[in-house]
Structures are given as structure tokens and as C-alpha cells.
Chain A
């Protein structure tokens, strides 16, 4: 990225007045393209992310920045950079405790009940687009903590995939600083990490052994077909970079990869509205997930 150079040439102060209609247009554009929605009260967040890009570009006026996103030749690249800004800081451990609550209180008990009837007491989790590994490590800690409680007598595996080799390398090393661990309790740090100096902690062998990292392109149809028998898929802030057709294809893959009663978690503000209507949208306290119904929908479903 050439942000550094751009920064040097610009000393602009972007106009961050939320009343500027250009920001609403950018909000709608982001929603249309990525499915990420900024409610009225969260518009300031979007504006601050735009402002960073505007500084980098040396653009002060929101309508002009909107042009960068819509009419200029580099609009796709700029959109990607803005999406990067929007999702930055999304990854730290225990970023979405409400998803884990939903798993513990509702989803897993349901799945265990159904699967408990058959002999194989095994669960499959997949973090699709795991980036630098915070999410699968969180999940692994969560599951280990349930080992003698909810999950007594059960085994599981966690598949964590990403397209980016650099991210995967970081994820495999499992070395994290204070930012990534800001929501991780002292107890969990002691149980699942070791001090490697320089204010960093590394996932210990037990934690590492829970996760299988692999390189996977979600658009690679032939590979996607192989990820069967999943109970839970996490895919947070990944689909936002896909166009509608690819997004549909990936979501359909997820659907067939999941077992009936399985759930797909997306990023906090991501929606599959008008992308897919085979999943059922389920509201849990503070979060939502998409459920693959156990029986085929009896018509009149709602995405």
C-alpha cells in the first residue's frame, strides 16, 4: 500500500460532518457491495474510517471521496482499502462473546441432543477466513473450557482456513500481543499460553493441538465440496469482499457443508439479505446466526 507516500503529500482535514449526504451514499454503497450496514448511530464509525482514507488520498470533501469510490478508475481498489479500514481491529480474542453464549446456551445443546443419539460423539467447527488466528484460538479455548461440562464425552476438531499465507503463518505460530489478548482473562492466559518475552504470549501445545490450519480459497469450488459434515462455520467479515454472485456461491457451499441443524456465524453487521434464502436467520441475545433447518422449509420462509 502507498499510504505512507500519500500521507506525506496531504495535509488535508477531511470534512466529517455526518449531515453530508455523501456519507449516507457511501454507507448505502458499502451495504450494497459488502452487506455491512452502519445504522444511523454508528455512522460516525464509518465516517472516521472514511476520514483515514481521505487523509491518505488528500481528499477533504466527502462528495469527492464518494467519486473515488464510484467513478474513478481505481474505485475497486479504493473500495477494498475502505473495507480494510472498516474491518480493522475486528480481530482480537473473545471479540464476540455473544456468539459463544449462543453456542453454549442454545446451539450446542441442540446439536448434542440430536447427535447424541448416534454413536459418534464428535463435533466439527470451521473458521473460514481465519486471518491471523484469533478466532479459532478463541473457539479452542471456549471448547476446552467446556470439556468437563457441556462437552463431557465429546471430541471435536477445528479447521481454520485462510487464503493469505502470511496470515496463516502468524496463526500457526500463535504468538499474540496485548491487543489480541485484551479480552482474554488472566486465568485463560495462564492455562493456554506461555510467555515468550517482549510482552507476547504464545499458544501452548494443548491449545495448538486443537486447531488444524490450512490454506483454502473460498472460491475454489472443488476444494469447497470437500468440507463436509460441519456443525458450526464462522465466516466473519470475509464475504464482504466478494461480489454478489461469488457470495451466493460461497454461501451455498457453506449450506451444503453444514449438517442439518448446523449454524453459520457472520460478522456483527453482516447480512445475507437477498443473498440467500435457504438459511434461517436466528436471533440470540446480542447476536444473530444462520441456521440450516433440520427439515426442509415448509414454504413462505424468510431469509
Chain B
């Protein structure tokens, strides 16, 4: 991307604040999300949720859904307790950022986007734990936020981005390849800018910036590498961008894997078939959670037993 385009994008991204209505609780929420879950104060979360009537209602709806035990939950506090902080923070973030994109500007199906983001968050976190990366919470967040650029592209370049998605789905290839052809930049760059605009840490910015570019990964650090691998894993387990992609992935031969293994030798002890089967089960949970939050339609994956 040249510097003129870069400057233009930076100006455009600032416009996001006026075009879209990011909920007031988003910024304080980001502060909370940076903490490991045991340091998050339940009272603070309850307070934030209570600020926003529609988000509070969604929490209650989810807590009362069959997925979480069908109990009669009538207060935000008991909903938070019933769902657990882990789930609440993913859901809250989803709901907040969801509103950054006005209804008519969604290009990717919102629930496909959230399945992929939550899936990636979870896989990144699990992989981080497996390799003994010291901050699995941060890994979760990096996975959750890595595709924020899609939101930027949806809001600022709606029609061009729609064309990208159409072509990518037609050709069954990765979206960033087409973005580069049609827009001249990808969601990695716009994601990076939004993350910077929101004041997120450098590691999170880098994960958004580098997750599709293997040439940047060795220098970008472990989080970006983890997110890159998780993104690939999600895409081969039916948590992609809502269309069928022709894809074959050699994770062990990937630059990200080779980079990680030098610092985190525990990666060598990971049975990838077993890990994949483990995340399959977790992904069913994610699909169920996203469906219950967004009431969305499911993209059926072939049954695997």
C-alpha cells in the first residue's frame, strides 16, 4: 500500500466514529478485556451492561436459553454469573462491535463473521495454552479482533467489498487475495488502523496486520503467528467467511509454525489431529452461542461423528 492510500485510509477510519454508533460502553469494555479473566471485576461488568438496555436484554436472553440451563434469570448480575465472565466478554464485545456496522452495510453475514472471530479467539487461546504461551487471555483477544478490518471495509467500502466477497466466493479463494486485487489493500491493513485508532496494544495491532502475510510473521511475534494458524484451522473446520473455500493447509510446514517452534518447543508435542478433534467440539458450542445471540441462520457443515 502506498503512502497516499495509507493517509486516505487513516482519515476515512476516523469517520467511522461519526458514521457508526459504537456503544458508549465499548471503550471501557476494551479496558476490561485486556485483563486476565480472574482480574475482571464482576461488579464493573454488571455496571457496564446495565448502561445499555439492549445489551442487557441480550444477556438475559442468552442466560435464559436452553444452552445455559434454562434457568429463570431476571437480573443482569445473575445473568453474568450464569454465563460466566469468559462467555460474557466475548458476547459483549460481539454485540458492541456489531453496532459499529450499520445494518445495511454488512457485507459478510454478521453471524459468519462472529463465528469466525469467536472460533479464532478460542483456537488461539487453546493453542496458546498448549504451547505454554504466558498470556492465553491476550491470545484470545488477538483472535477475537484479528478481522476487525472486515468491519472497516464493510462500512467504508461497502460496494467494492461486496464485490470482493462475491468474487472470492465464486473462485472459492481466500478473501484477502481478492481484496488486494479489487481494493488495493486488505482487511489486515484496515484492521491494523482500526486497532491503532482504538489504542490497542502493539501485539494486537500486529496480529491484525500480519495474520495473512507469512513474510511479516517471523518479525511480528508469537501472537500474530498463533492467530495466523488459528485462522487457517477455523477455515478448514467450516468457520470461514460464510462461503466454501478450496483450501489445503500444511500447518506444520507453515512459517508461523516454524517460527513458534523455536521459542515454544511444546508445539512439537501437539498432535494436530487430536487438537483438531478437540476444537471441533468447542466449535459446535461457538455456533450455538452465536446463534443464540444473533438468532442467526446456520451454515450447515457436513456431519462428522
A contacts, CB < 8 Å to B: 31, 37-42, 45, 97-98, 102, 105-107, 268-274, 280-286, 288, 291, 300-303
Contacts and interface: CB of A to CB of B under 8 A. Distances in A.
A102 B236 CA distance: 11
A39 B284 CA distance: 12
A286 B301 contact: yes
B253 A269 contact: no
A303 B269 CA distance: 10
B238 A39 contact: no
What is the predominant secondary structure among interface residues of chain A facing chain B? mixed
Nearest to A40: B281
9 contacts: A37-B274, A40-B281, A42-B281, A268-B305, A271-B271, A283-B233, A286-B236, A286-B237, A302-B257
A269 B281 CA distance: 13
B273 A273 contact: yes
Nearest to B235: A285
A156 B273 CA distance: 30
B248 A282 contact: yes
Contacts of B274: 31, 37, 39, 271, 273
A286 B239 CA distance: 10
Contacts of B251: 281, 283, 302
A106 B305 contact: no
Given A45-B305, A286-B236, A286-B238, A273 B276 contact: no
A73 to B, nearest CB: 31
A288 B252 CA distance: 13
B159 interface: no
Interface of B: 172, 232-233, 235-238, 244-253, 257-258, 261, 268, 271-274, 276-278, 280-282, 284-285, 301-302, 304-305
Contacts of B273: 37, 269-273, 281, 288
Given A271-B274, A273-B271, A288-B276, A283 B281 contact: no
Q: What 3 A-B pairs have minimum CB-CB distances, sorted nearest first?
A: A302-B252, A41-B281, A271-B273
A281 B304 contact: no
Contact of B252 (A98, A285, A301): A301
Contacts of B301: 286
A302 B259 CA distance: 13
Nearest to B279: A39
A286 B250 contact: no
B12 to A, nearest CB: 35
Contact of A39 (B172, B237, B280, B302): B280
Chain B interface SS verdict (over half): helix
Nearest to A45: B305
A193 B301 CA distance: 29
Given A273-B271, A300-B258, A281 B250 contact: yes
Nearest to A289: B248
B175 to A, nearest CB: 15
A281 B252 contact: yes
Nearest to B253: A280
A302 B252 CA distance: 5
B277 A283 contact: no
Contact of B248 (A98, A272, A284, A302): A284
Contact of A283 (B232, B244, B305): B232
B241 to A, nearest CB: 13
B281 A303 contact: no
A285 B247 contact: yes
Given A271-B273, A273-B272, A41 B246 contact: no
A99 to B, nearest CB: 11
B278 A285 contact: no
Contacts of B257: 302
Nearest to A303: B252
Contacts of B244: 285
Contacts of B249: 282-284
Contacts of A105: 172, 246
Nearest to B277: A39
Nearest to A268: B304
